[in-house]
Structures are given as C-alpha cells and as structure tokens.
C-alpha cells in the first residue's frame, strides 16, 4: 500500500508556500471529492491558480496532477478493501442505475442553443475531425461511423502525432470535435491548440465545464460522468459521451432528412451481404 496522501502532505507541509498550503489543507479535508476534480476545479476551490496546484503536486514528489489523483484513488481503494461486500449481488441493478442516472444528468447539462450551434457548425464544415485518445478515441471512431451512415464524411484521429499534423493543415472552414472526459488529456489538448491557432472551429465534449479543453472551445457540450483515475474509461462515462455524439448525429440527420435517409439505405445495402 502506498503511503497515505495525508501523510505525504504532512511530511512536505512545512516546506510549502502559503498558497501551496491552501491546496494541501483543502485536499486533506476533501480527499474523497478531489479525485473527481479537474485541476481547474481544485484551483478554484482552494482559491489559488492552476500553476500553484501543479507546483504543489511536484513539491510533494509527484510528477503531475494525474499521478496526484491516482495516488489518492489508490489510498481510498485500499481503505475500502475491508468494507462489507454484501451488496455485491446487486451489481447489475447498481450499474444499470448509475448508467441511467449518468445519461439523465448529461441530458440536463446540455444547453439547447449550444447543441444547435454545434450541429450548424458540423453541417457547414468543410471537414469534420474527431480528436480523442484512449477510450475517447474509441468514441471518435464510433462518431465517424455514425456520420458516415448519414452521408457525412469525417475523420477520427486517435494518434497524437497524426492529430497534430492534421490540426496544422486546418482552416477556418474546418471543425474539430475534441473528446475528453477529463478535459485535460495532454495529447488531445496540444493538437486542439494547434487547430485553434490554424483557425478551425472547436467543439469540446467534456464532463468538466472548467477543464483546460474549454479554453480552446468555441462550443462546449457537457457529457460523460465523473470517474476516479482507477475508473478511467468507465462504461458509464463512455455511454454518456456517446449520448452527446448521438445528439449531434441525430441533429445533423434532421437537418438533411432526405439525404440522410438515402445514405442510410445506401450504407445499409453496402454491408447487407456481410451478414448471414
């Protein structure tokens, strides 16, 4: 078991600056909540800047914010090993309930005018590019498949080098959809920043409204679910992310009903012989 985060912080506390001590105090008092915070959230709650939070993480011997959250999550996980597991038999109901709740929460977070604006951007775009890595990269591939079925070509780029190169070639007529539950995935953020500088429009799909990805976004659509570092890629978060993609694709189909129906029939016919 790793040394408890509270002990790590206590050992470094005297060497921290006043601002870093604010972060330390807040973390010690809110361990079970902090694992779900973005770096921006923690900075706001502690009343300091993001750079102070990152400096605090390094001061206590960690490489960065994600390793900081992972260490907390591991501590909490170890602490729960001895808890009663009598509810294990109800995991089917628990998971289904959490999934339904996550979709309902995502639906309530969607701002209709932002959704409509995003659909308009996609409908008028010269090219559409979905950027995502890890689990969000799988969502990007699914989004490309969904758009293809209604006759809308797009690219799903999950390799960080290809994302960066592609981003550099974009113009103000192009749209990038950035997928990141945390909103702070470095590979995607770097590519989205390049795309933004090139003039492309950015649609961000993220769970955290104050995460780093939002500073580059023209439109932010909140989707996903909170997850600790030990739950990265959780199905609940992914389903919520897919729900937002479904809203975009359905909105596009409704704007081009006749073409969308025609393309659905053509694409279905193209693969009909693939099924026994």
The answer to whether residues 179 and 241 touch, using CB atoms and an 8 Å cutoff, is: yes
SS3 257: helix
Q: In whole angstroms, how large is the CA radius of gyration of the chain?
A: 21
Q: Give the HSE-up count for residue 208: Cα atoms under 13 Å, Cβ half-sphere.
A: 22
**276 residues of the chain, pLDDT tens digit each:** 456 788 888 878 888 999 999 999 999 999 888 988 888 889 999 999 999 999 999 999 898 998 898 888 887 766 554 444 445 557 778 778 888 888 888 888 899 999 999 999 999 999 999 999 988 999 999 999 999 999 999 999 999 999 999 999 999 999 999 999 888 888 999 999 999 999 999 999 998 777 889 999 999 998 766 655 555 557 788 888 999 999 999 999 999 889 999 999 999 889 888 877
Confidence at residue 82, expressed as pLDDT on a 0 to 100 scale: 46
The answer to whether residues 31 and 72 touch, using CB atoms and an 8 Å cutoff, is: yes
Cβ density class 93-116: b for 16+ within 10 Å, e for less:
eeeeeebeebbebbeeeeeeeebe
Phi-psi domain of 59 (left: phi exceeds 0; alpha: psi -120 through 50; beta: other): alpha
Confidence at residue 135, expressed as pLDDT on a 0 to 100 scale: 87
Confidence at residue 1, expressed as pLDDT on a 0 to 100 scale: 42
Q: How does DSSP classify residue 224?
A: S
Distance set, CA 129 to CA 39, 52, 67, 204, 260 (Å): 26, 34, 30, 12, 19
**CATH topology agreement for domains 5-79 and 97-274:** no
* Domain covering 5-79: architecture: Orthogonal Bundle (1.10)
Which pTM value belongs to this model? 0.75
Each residue of 91-129: pLDDT tens digit? Answer: 778 778 888 888 888 888 899 999 999 999 999 999 999
Domain ranges of the chain: 5-79, 97-274
Each residue of 175-199: pLDDT tens digit? Answer: 999 999 888 888 999 999 999 999 9
Confidence at residue 211, expressed as pLDDT on a 0 to 100 scale: 82
> If one looks up domain 97-274 in CATH, what number appears?
3.40.50.10490
The answer to whether residues 148 and 154 touch, using CB atoms and an 8 Å cutoff, is: yes
Confidence at residue 232, expressed as pLDDT on a 0 to 100 scale: 54
């Amino acid at each position: 078991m790793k040394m408890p985060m509270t002990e790590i912080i206590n050992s470094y506390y005297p060497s921290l600056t006043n601002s870093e001590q604010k972060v330390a105090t807040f973390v010690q008092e809110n361990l079970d909540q902090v694992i779900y915070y973005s770096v921006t959230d923690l900075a706001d709650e502690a009343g300091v800047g993001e750079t102070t939070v990152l400096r605090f993480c390094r001061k206590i011997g960690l490489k960065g914010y994600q390793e900081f959250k992972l260490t907390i999550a591991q501590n909490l996980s170890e602490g729960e090993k001895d808890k009663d597991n009598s509810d294990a038999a109800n995991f089917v109901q628990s998971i289904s309930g959490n999934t339904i709740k996550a979709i309902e929460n995502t639906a309530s977070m969607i701002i209709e005018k932002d959704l409509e604006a995003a659909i308009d951007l996609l409908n008028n775009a010269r090219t559409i590019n979905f950027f995502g890595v890890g689990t969000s990269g799988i969502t990007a591939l699914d989004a490309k498949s969904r758009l293809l079925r209604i006759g809308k070509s797009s690219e799903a780029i999950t390799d960080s080098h290809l994302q960066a190169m592609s981003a550099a070639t974009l113009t103000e007529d192009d749209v990038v959809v950035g997928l990141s539950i945390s909103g702070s995935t470095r590979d995607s953020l770097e590519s989205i920043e390049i795309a933004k500088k090139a003039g492309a429009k950015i649609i961000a799909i993220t769970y955290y409204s104050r995460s780093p990805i939002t500073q580059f976004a023209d439109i932010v659509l909140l989707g996903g679910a909170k997850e600790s570092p030990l739950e990265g890629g959780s199905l609940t978060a992914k389903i919520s992310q897919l729900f937002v993609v479904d809203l975009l694709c359905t909105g596009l189909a409704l704007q081009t009903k006749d073409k969308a129906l025609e393309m659905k029939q053509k694409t279905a016919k193209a693969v009909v012989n693939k099924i026994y």
